[in-house]
Amino acid sequence: MQERFVVYRSPDGELRVFYDRCPHRFAPLSLGKCEGESLRCAYHGWVFDQDGKCVEIPSLGPDATLPPRAELRGPFAVAESHGMVFVAPESPLTPLPSLGADDDSAFVRGDLEPITTRANAGLLADNFLDMAHFAFIHTGTFGAGEATEVGNYSLEREGYAFTAVYEHDFANREDPGVAEGIRPLVQRRRLTYRYVAPYHLELALNFLDSGGTNVIGFFLVPLDNETVTIYSSIWRDDLEGSEERLRDAVDFEVAVVNEDLALQSRYHDLALPLDITCEVHVKADKTTVELRRILRDLLDAANQDV
């Protein structure tokens, strides 16, 4: 069942997380307001303290005995990392993602608006890790310069995470050095994919000849099998402080994501098969096969805990 959470920050700066449901008439507590450490429900004004215990029911007047079942589910474990809030209703099996570029002052960060759409989080993770679709899907953005053949690349798994590194030739049409005759059109590029289960993804593109690194972070929150919210940010170290160029880069990334979603949102069956014998895989699919294996292992581990 889909659960919703209310998250609020108390005056000491701590985040508190509960199920977003008042025990009285199940109104969403997220419509209420913070009163110091406490949360007041918007409907009948019941007040819950930082541990979720009800401490005031206005309709009973002062000094009334409060029903013992008047308490919130929670508080749940919560962590903040890189401007995002992660909630753990149960003990997490995987670590939080670490984003090196976010801690590196050489990079500027641009956030895309969150996108909620019809798509499956597993399929979107597959799509993010896939290197063989660029020339076919991204025809309106960067795909024209991309090779269709995918060469060998390395992949190292660590727990419920992996890193894959692919170095290859590509046509760098954006490099002003090409027009100036300083560098050839065909240059070297390194793609480094980092995946942390279940849905934290990062791609660093290193332009080995012209210099510069672009990083794309992609964090998926499945709302159900057919709906997902995408949180995505980019980091650039090659924009020389230009806010306009950063805005353009974010807009470009939105266009790239929309090209992917045009296909992803139209899958008939919005599900990622975890049985790797179901689909036909080729050499280029090493990352996305590992994605399936890791999600299968994670699911097995989670089921063992039940």
Which string of x and - marks every residue 8-37 that binds ligand FES (by CB under 6 A)? --------------x-xx-x----------
Question: Least distance (Å) from Fe ion to the CB of residue 32?
Answer: 40
Which does residue 25 bind out of ligand FES, Fe ion, none, counting CB within 5 to 8 angstroms by kind? ligand FES
Q: Is residue 161 a contact residue for ligand FES (CB under 6 A)?
A: no
Per the DSSP assignment, residues forming a β-bridge with 154 are 165
Helix (H, G, I), strand (E, B) or coil at 29: helix
Instruction: Give the whole-angstrom CA distance, residue 211 versus residue 187.
Output: 11
Question: Which is closer to ligand FES, CB of 45 or CB of 140?
Answer: 45
260 binds, among ligand FES, Fe ion, none (CB under 5 to 8 A by kind): Fe ion
What's the rounded Cα separation, in Å, for the pair 61 and 42? 17
Stretch that binds ligand FES, among 5-13, 42-50, 64-72, 142-150 (CB under 6 A): 42-50
Residues in a beta bridge with 118: 227
Is residue 73 close enough to count as binding ligand FES by CB under 6 A?
no
Single residue of 30, 35, 37, 43 touching ligand FES by CB under 6 A: 43
Closest CB to ligand FES among 67 and 211?
A: 67
Q: Which residue lies nearer to Fe ion by CB, 20 or 290? A: 290
Closest to ligand FES by CB, 43 or 86: 43
Interhelix angle 243-264/121-129, rounded to 10 degrees, is 120
Q: Which one of ligand FES, Fe ion, none interacts with residue 22, CB within 5 to 8 A by kind?
A: ligand FES
**Strand residue runs (E) in the chain:** 5-9, 15-19, 33-35, 38-40, 47-48, 54-56, 77-81, 84-88, 108-111, 115-118, 154-158, 161-171, 186-196, 200-207, 213-224, 227-236
Q: Which residue matches tokens 């590194």?
A: 165
32: CB partners within 8 A, 6+ apart: 6, 22, 39, 40, 41, 42
**Looking at beta carbons only, is 99 or 129 nearer to Fe ion?**
129
Rg (CA), the chain: 23
Binding site for ligand FES (CB under 6 A): 22, 24-25, 27, 41, 43-44, 46
